[in-house]
Structure 1
């Protein structure tokens, strides 16, 4: 049996037997109470009687970034023995930390991504800081606070620390007592600044240092350390930490939290050498580790975090009124909209709320969502270069990763801009979906229910129109409708695509009759169902006065294409929104997204559904939504117990009584064609008095310039909004 003695700087003695790489090993740990003389005496006592001696917490070298210094006492101790090799963990620590970060990220994708990282400390953790730094743009070092109780300096990042302060730090520590370099858990004599710890999402370094110097409140923090005992884990759990990750192999149970330090692990590798004369270097260790099967220990500490799949969803104000209603920006209603709207678009993405309580009745999988809002209205997005919105979405994705989300959905116009999510997905590490596959499914299901409620008995004999029929949502709706109704009218402003699309539908659905047009016009008069899925502004998408009695209009657009004023002109026509969705579970949404409690838009529901299924992958991207994806997401919709919410029209539920009244009115107009035509003429005259608009806004006519001196306040507004963002 291989014999290992590890001398550590704390108190106590223990002996453990393990099997490592097929060899039994006895690990004897002896405390020296931080006394170098006692450590030296113990080393002389066991020299030549064991296979390897480990010095735990007594390093030969001190390393911080590019700086490297010998520790005066550690150097002396490493050269005392004459027969038994001595190691201190430095030969393996950096390599195992780099490897461990990779393996932990594979086991729990995104666990480190986008986090604000604080090294506690960075001293002798080069591998950990380098690997974590590749997964985050925000890293700081707590070494000045920990070792010298210096005040926190906001804005000082990792690069400055390593370039300017690393060498002076090591010069002051090269004669420091070991207990100062590797402190125990407890209370410091001098309190350290809380600011860097509160700033961070992830604390990485030494468990004793973190427990001693971090503030009591560690809620939602991820802790990454070499090792953690049961006592360490309980303390972190009590203080609210979310996750603890240990980098060193557990030696006994694969994937368990490891109580072993890098020193112990290096001792095991030295003892396991096939050739006892092999040099104690990285090449020898790498050859041995090639036979090692392990993953870092990852444990979720809080019950609500265990087995929780997280997602994020990007929203934005559908019109200027949403900005005025926001608690932090109510004061903007006293300023001209023509100033507020473009300035709001400049505000960085903001976390605004959370969706909790989602759980699949089929699998028990729990989900949690984060709502992130941009400041742009649809008009602002459409008037700016698409890269402006892409940049905001990349910022949103990084924020989502910080929260632990592994998939992000694009809401409303963020899924319309540019290439409908493709560029965003390429620029982000997190999975992206536009949510349009489930939007199509929910739209068609809602439309089907509405048409049946309005009295249709045989849907196959009806006629449907899709406005925006060559768009990402409209095109798939048209293809699926053609399979059921056969008689379809496609409307689009892209005539060349209409011709191609008509041919495709008629080829894939024999018997389908497709009419194409660049405007709805009088064609609506023969249609039982009209679906609008456009991104148009300042236009009248459909003349509702020309619709046939009892028609159904399913308005997919957000904001809607058909205003409430227009809908009121035809009491016999049912105008509904695309299908909204109920997520299974005890849902709580902490931000008003403009829907009833527990109800979400279908695009948001798709994002949550993919999280519930554990499908953290780019799902619905681009303008060519496949019917296979639409059908697959609908199967998942059914599997996990999602349901359509009630039919809604302009933010209100449509009651059975209202539908009955519309049916009565429609029957009357069918029976009295002359009176119907008179009503249409009267309604048409009223329609002309309603401004031509879509998405709830008229064509933007006024420029910022006409406001003259008022435009000067724009900079002030922007500054206030950005300042508010900083305080948040």
Structure 2
């Protein structure tokens, strides 16, 4: 049996464990949150190192990609180095492959028809693959990186502007502690409610669910949410606020979807990779073999 563990800076209230079968092999997948405690997270990785097949690293990105440029978060790199024998994945490989594939599938999907819709992507730098695919498939996209990451009410309205922003900000923000940029621990459960007008103007709200939830307005009537890492409680919240359709880029397992870091770790474990070094073509082949499909639910 393969064992995959996602160790996260996020809330322990979102912990979950499932056993399932992929490609004829039994797999145990577990998510363990440390409520924002970095020292505890590193200790947990060291304790499990070598006894699990792959780690997912949740609540923090290790890398962000913009075209061929890769930027490394300093804090995440310190955390990742605690794993010496077991590969540790942050999900960036799947964000660049699976999420592109999902957007392409949904562009002309009879129940979704993503093509031509207005999309609020809460962070394009976090999901540049999705950002490119949305634009390439005819969506009108607002990128919320400055709003949701830095709290500045400044929308970005083109890929070119997003790239220019990345070149300026990425070398700086990747040196900051993640708590200044992204909700960790119990902050993931708080709702601040800013930027409601940008939610209202969009047909589709896309991207990291913790960013989406952080400023979730009361009225989301008729909206489509394209995200992942959604629990049963999250679905209830979205339904209460009027969301019409929930789509997660990763499949649901026993009532919830796991993050891209978990599913990337799963693919690495199934491939038997000890260093976690997979190419884009490797990921695409594994996605097809495992049969990863987006989850679509009418709320």
Which TM-score bucket, shorter chain as reference?
0.7 to 0.9
TM-score w.r.t. length of structure 2: 0.87
Query: In the alignment, which residue of structure 2 is the partner of 1:574?
Result: none
Query: In the alignment, which residue of structure 1 is the partner of 2:268?
Result: 270
Change (3 A) 1:93 1:159: closer
Query: In the alignment, which residue of structure 2 is the partner of 1:208?
Result: 210
| Shift, 1:179, TM fit | 4.1
Task: Look up the SS of the partner of 1:290 in the other structure.
Answer: helix
Contact 1:152 1:193 in 2 (8 A): no
Q: Which has the larger radius of gyration?
A: 1
Query: In the alignment, which residue of structure 1 is the partner of 2:73?
Result: 71
| Shift, 1:2, TM fit | 1.1
Contact 1:227 1:247 in 2 (8 A): no
Which of 238, 241, 249 lines up with 2:240 in the alignment? 238
Task: Look up the SS of the partner of 1:209 in the other structure.
Answer: helix
Change (3 A) 1:208 1:286: same
Whole-angstrom distance in 2 between the partners of 1:66 and 1:278: 19
Contact 2:57 2:90 in 1 (8 A): yes
Deviation readout 1:98-146 (Å, 9 max, x if unpaired): 1112233454365212111111122321121111112335211111111
Change (3 A) 1:213 1:93: same
Change (3 A) 1:291 1:251: farther
Query: In the alignment, which residue of structure 2 is the partner of 1:608?
Result: none
Change (3 A) 1:100 1:160: closer
Task: Look up the SS of the partner of 2:236 in the other structure.
Answer: helix
Task: Look up the SS of the partner of 2:121 in the other structure.
Answer: strand
| Shift, 1:168, TM fit | 2.8
Whole-angstrom distance in 1 between the partners of 2:209 and 2:276: 32
Tell me the C-alpha RMSD between the 2 structures. 2.5
Whole-angstrom distance in 2 between the partners of 1:107 and 1:165: 32
Contact 1:68 1:167 in 2 (8 A): no
Deviation readout 1:251-303 (Å, 9 max, x if unpaired): 57xxxx751111110111111115657843333333322323343111222xx
Change (3 A) 1:15 1:163: closer
Deviation readout 1:155-198 (Å, 9 max, x if unpaired): x512353143222332342133334444224223xx63333222
How many residue pairs get aligned? The number is 293
Higher relative contact order (CA 8 A, sep 6+): 2
- Which 4+ residue blocks in structure 1 deviate beyond 6 angstroms? none
Deviation readout 1:221-241 (Å, 9 max, x if unpaired): 111002321111111111112
Contact 1:120 1:141 in 2 (8 A): yes
Contact 2:209 2:228 in 1 (8 A): yes
Contact 1:67 1:170 in 2 (8 A): no
Query: In the alignment, which residue of structure 2 is the partner of 1:99?
Result: 101
Which of 279, 282, 287 lines up with 1:281 in the alignment? 279
Whole-angstrom distance in 2 between the partners of 1:238 and 1:224: 17
Contact 2:90 2:261 in 1 (8 A): yes
Query: In the alignment, which residue of structure 2 is the partner of 1:3?
Result: 3
Whole-angstrom distance in 2 between the partners of 1:38 and 1:249: 29
Which of 60, 64, 74 lines up with 2:62 in the alignment? 60
Whole-angstrom distance in 2 between the partners of 1:275 and 1:128: 26
Change (3 A) 1:108 1:260: farther
Query: In the alignment, which residue of structure 2 is the partner of 1:187?
Result: 191
Query: In the alignment, which residue of structure 2 is the partner of 1:673?
Result: none
Contact 1:182 1:206 in 2 (8 A): no
Task: Look up the SS of the partner of 2:271 in the other structure.
Answer: coil
Task: Look up the SS of the partner of 1:272 in the other structure.
Answer: helix
Change (3 A) 1:64 1:201: farther
How do residues 150-169 of structure 1 correspond to structure 2 at under 5 angstroms?
150-152=152-154, 157-159=157-159, 161-169=161-169
| Shift, 1:72, TM fit | 0.6
How do residues 37-56 of structure 1 correspond to structure 2 at under 5 angstroms?
37-56=39-58
TM-score w.r.t. length of structure 1: 0.38
